[in-house]
A and B are shown apart, each in its own frame.
Chain A
Amino acid sequence: MADQAADFIVIGSGIMGSLVARRLAESGASVLILEAGPRVTRGELVARFRNSPRRSDWMSPYPPSPWAPHPVYKPQDNGYLVQAGPYPYPAEYIRQVGGTTWHWAAHAWRNVPNDFRIKSLYDVGIDWPFSYDELEPFYQQAEELMGVSGAPNTGSPRAKPFPMEPVAEPFAMRRIRERLAGSFDVVSNTTARNSRSYDGRPPCCGNNSCQPICPIDAQYHGGIAAASAEAAGAKLLPDANVFRLEHDTAGRIVAAHYFDPDKGAHRVTGGTFIVAANGIESPRLMLLSASDKYPAGLANSSDMMGRNLMDHPSTSLTFDAEDALWLGRGPQSPSSINTMRDGTFRPDHAPYRLDFTNISRVDNATRALISAGIYGPEFEKRLRQTAAHEMNVKTVLEVLPHPDRRVTLSDQKDAMGLRKPQVHYAIDDYTRRGSASGKRDFQRIADLMGGTNLRFSKDGDYANNQHICGTMSMGNDPRTSVCDGYGRAHDHENLFFASTGVLPTSGTCNSTENGVAVALRSVHHILGAVAPVAARNAVSL
């Protein structure tokens, strides 16, 4: 196939890559998006979920493609993400048009302002290369693009109102808020979920399947972002698995090489390259692109590429509340306690958000009863009892950047002959002390809810939240960071990253909105600094 070319080559069609592509295309530049995985429709995903024998496995509607695999762990680990330990990091992400936000809880939090200065304020982690105030207009842009609903009492100041009011509070969350009042302030989550018709999409109808798929697009996701990029004029090529970036003698990126599903190799040239292939696949691609000039991989003169892997580990408490709450009515993840997201304790232990689930308990309770051998009328009685009264609260803990937590290349290869990603991960004492504080909160919450049958997650066990960040960390010092505050690689003038991987710290909120806001700030910079040149040399697709 003849080479294709564009002003901008965007690698990855997830929410960040697609929104960046949309903005660039709207400026009049030619944009080509290369997506490793296939196109899949919302209807197909809903059908896959309803017909899945593993409904609680939210990856079951998203099987990996042989030519562009992603990690899955059920019914067995497909071995794609190699674990180097010492603590497992079973990350989940989706390689298909639209990326991983096809299934998410749609939490669209902003950081709190002090998250940008934890080194200066608390002598832990690092500071961001810019302040909350500098990012604030781009948070607003992100919220308007995604359609975010929220209340102003979440600790993140704003210059303009949310695009929408908070989504109606489920009865269960109301009872929790009322019973905890005076001890804990329970607030509605800031979410990319419609509380009214917005941007041609309907308000939430309480389908309670936000993860793995909102069947009515009341929730924003990368598939919507990808469609908007195409509507703006970007060309999107699915099933194009980029395996190498090519540079010239000056270190500028000149081409992206990709495999089609039959392993036919193709070459695409462009003026500026934006890697938006998530916090694991992006550093993998940079490491796969090692050359004689850059033997440690591209954008890696600092040796920081892939390092500082962070996420949000969770501990949890499940118990039976006194009230009949009947979780499962309304959206899955409506309410949180934010009071521990920042404070003078941060030199000592990790901050955290406390997150209440509203996911139906029915399937899990059914499996538990069957496992326990509960048959006959007692089955129905106990199922209803659990479905009505069981509730769960979890911590969402900050992990600090550390170079030993990292993504590298495994010696194992995938079906395309490409080296698999390998992760090195650990939970440190800072996070463990945060979880101990969270456990004390759990007990108090259970007491206030009249809780019985308390089941704490096992000490030392941390669930993963798939908020991959840090692996292409931005900073002002090229010796300690991969890219600058605009996501531009320190080592390559025309290479940018749009990803949660650029976030220097993880904070306590789901990483997507931070990643989108930072990516939009990068686009703003690119359009000012790069696009005028690109427009003069516009390439037709």
Chain B
Amino acid sequence: MTTPSSEESLPFPPTSGHQDKTWTVARRALLGGLLATSTLAVITWAAPTPSPTPERGAFIALSSLLVGRQTLDPGQAARLFDALLQDDPAFSQKTAGLLSFINARLIAPLELQRLLDAENSPFATLPRIIVTAWCLGIVGTGDKARCLAFETALNAIIVADVLRPPTYAYGGYGSWAAPPRTVSTQAAGSIGKLPGSHAERITHG
């Protein structure tokens, strides 16, 4: 189960660029520590999930950076990693390489793709592959594409205080007529219970 990060407890994220700059500084320090110790203390690993290998740890760390979340579901991470590795046997090395690259150059997430593209980096395709896996739950393209997550894809989690994934009931008849209640308008006690509590609230069709 995902544990809510401090970011999840925020209301609508600020619209200025200050937030990202502040975060970036913190993340730079974080990544330095991660790489120095080869551990991922900030990632929440729930028993009985096996401890990650360094390769899987690098994937988690890079994923965390790319999707802007300190906490990621370990079971989902394992499924995504396995699928990505199946598509590309060099995925582990590429992931570690990109992580080292980011750490060495102290690159902010928002600058990463532009920089990789500008430098014709061999890592240029990697961020989109990883973010697509986490945020849409999809690995692979064309005929090889498959869905590994739907209601637990991060794009569903990010808006779960307001929306249900398509095919899941919003609520009783007419409940959608009321104004939407975001995390900023809901009681604090209802925040951060997703996806587990979300799934329990859902009325299956």
Query: Which residues of chain A have a CB within 8 Å of any CB of chain B?
Result: 46, 49-55, 75-76, 168-171, 174, 195-196, 203-209, 213-216, 324, 326, 328-330, 360, 362-363, 365-367, 370-381, 383-385, 387-388
Q: Which residue of A lies closest to B163 (CB)?
A: A328
Chain B positions near chain A (C-beta within 8 angstroms): 7, 12-15, 19-20, 23-24, 27, 65-69, 108-110, 112-114, 117, 127-128, 131-132, 135-136, 138, 140-143, 145-147, 150-151, 155-156, 158-159, 162-164, 166-180, 182, 203-205
Q: A329-B180, A360-B163, A384-B159 are in contact. Are A375 and B172 (CB under 8 A)?
A: no
Report Cα–Cα, A516/B109, bound state, in Å. Answer: 55
Q: How far in angstroms is the closest Cβ of chain B from A422?
A: 26
Q: Contact check: which of A168, A324, A372 meets B173 at CB < 8 Å? A: A168
Checking A195, A196, A205 against B170 with a beta-carbon cut-off of 8 angstroms, the contacting residue is: A205
Using CB atoms, name the residue of chain A closest to B180. A326
Instruction: Kindly report which residue of chain A lies nearest to residue B146, judged by CB atoms.
Output: A53
Contact of A326 among B138, B163, B168 (CB under 8 A): B163
Q: A75-B143, A376-B108 are in contact. Are A55 and B170 (CB under 8 A)?
A: no
- Report which residue of A54, A76, A174, A377 has the largest number of chain B beta carbons within 10 angstroms of its beta carbon: A377
**Which of A46, A51, A363, A379 has most chain B Cβ within 10 Å?**
A379
Q: How far is the CA of A287 from the CA of B19 in the complex (A)?
A: 66
- Alpha-carbon separation in the docked complex, A236 to B126 (Å): 51
**A388 CA / B68 CA spacing, docked (Å):** 20
Indicate if the CB atoms of B150 and A51 lie closer than 8 Å.
Answer: yes
Pair A375/B23 contact, Cβ less than 8 Å: no
Q: How far is the CA of A52 from the CA of B136 in the complex (A)?
A: 11
What residues of A have a CB within 8 angstroms of the CB of B27 in the complex?
376
Closest 8 A-B residue pairs measured CB to CB?
Answer: A373-B113, A376-B109, A215-B205, A206-B170, A330-B176, A53-B145, A168-B174, A381-B13
Of A53, A168, A207, A381, which one neighbours B140 at CB under 8 angstroms?
A53
Chain A's nearest CB lies how many Å from the CB of B122? 16
A76 and B142 contact, CB distance less than 8 A: yes
> Which residues of the other chain, A, contact B155 by a CB distance below 8 angstroms?
362-363, 365-366, 383
Contact A170 B145 (CB under 8 A): no
Q: Decide: B180 and A324 in contact? CB cutoff 8 A.
A: yes
Nearest Cβ distance between residue B162 and chain A, in whole angstroms?
A: 5
Contact assessment for B175 and A380 in the assembled complex, using a CB-CB cutoff below 8 Å:
no
Known: A171-B180, A375-B110, A377-B19. A370 touches B128 (CB 8 A): yes
Residues of A within 8 A of B12 (CB): 381, 384-385
B13 neighbours in A (Cβ, 8 Å)? 377, 380-381, 384
Cβ of A46: which chain B residues have Cβ within 8 Å of it?
167, 205
Report the minimum CB–CB distance from B186 to chain A (whole Å).
13
Q: How far is the CA of A363 from the CA of B147 in the complex (A)?
A: 13
List, in ascending order, chain B residues with CB within 8 A of A55's CB: 147, 150, 166
Q: Is the CB of B162 within 8 A of A326?
A: yes
In the complex, 15 of the A-B residue pairs with CB atoms within 8 angstroms, ordered by the A residue number, are: A50-B147, A50-B151, A170-B177, A171-B180, A196-B173, A206-B170, A324-B180, A326-B162, A329-B162, A329-B176, A362-B155, A376-B23, A377-B19, A383-B155, A388-B182
Cβ contact of B205, chosen from A205, A371, A375, cutoff 8 A:
A205
In the assembled complex, how far is the CB of residue B179 from the closest CB belonging to chain A, in whole angstroms?
A: 5
When C-beta atoms are compared, the residue in chain A nearest to B157 turns out to be A380
Q: Cα distance A381–B68 when bound, in Å? A: 10
Q: Which of A50, A174, A360, A375 makes the CB contact (< 8 A) with B67?
A: A375
Q: How far is the CB of A234 from chain B (nearest CB, A)?
A: 28
User: Which of B7, B142, B169, B179 sits near A207, CB closer than 8 Å?
Assistant: B169
Docked-complex contact B109 and A375, CB < 8 angstroms: yes
**What residue in chain A is nearest B177 (Cβ atoms)?**
A168
Q: How far is the CB of B15 from chain A (nearest CB, A)?
A: 7
Which of chain B's residues have a CB closer than 8 A to the CB of A50?
147, 150-151, 167
Of A195, A329, A375, which contacts B112 at CB under 8 A? A375
| Separation of A381 and B20 alpha carbons in the complex (Å) | 10
Q: Are B68 and A54 in contact (CB under 8 A)?
A: no
Residues of A within 8 A of B140 (CB): 53
Closest to A323 in B: B179
> Are B67's CB and A379's CB within 8 A?
yes
When chains A and B are docked, how far (Å) is the Cα of A205 from the Cα of B164?
Answer: 11
User: What 11 additional pairs, Cβ within 8 angstroms, besides A170-B176, A376-B67, A383-B159?
Assistant: A51-B147, A53-B145, A205-B203, A206-B169, A206-B175, A329-B170, A330-B170, A366-B136, A377-B23, A380-B68, A387-B163
* A216-B147 contact in complex given A168-B174, A326-B162, A374-B110, C-beta closer than 8 Å: no
The chain A residue with its CB closest to the CB of B117 is A373
Also in contact, A367 and B23, with CB within 8 A (given A207-B168, A213-B167): no
Nearest-Cβ distance from residue B195 to partner chain A, whole angstroms: 14
Distance (Å) between the CB of A10 and the closest chain B CB? 30
How far does the alpha carbon of A52 sit from the alpha carbon of B178 in the complex, in Å?
Answer: 31
Other-chain contact of A377, B20, B167, B171 (Cβ < 8 Å) = B20
Assuming A209-B166, A366-B155, is B205 touching A379 (CB within 8 A)?
no
A53, B138: Cβ atoms closer than 8 Å? yes
Q: Verify B164–A208 contact, CB threshold 8 A.
A: yes
Q: CA A168 – CA B176 in complex, angstroms? A: 8
Q: Does the CB pair A373–B173 fall under 8 Å?
A: no
- Closest CB of chain A to B182's CB: distance in Å? 8
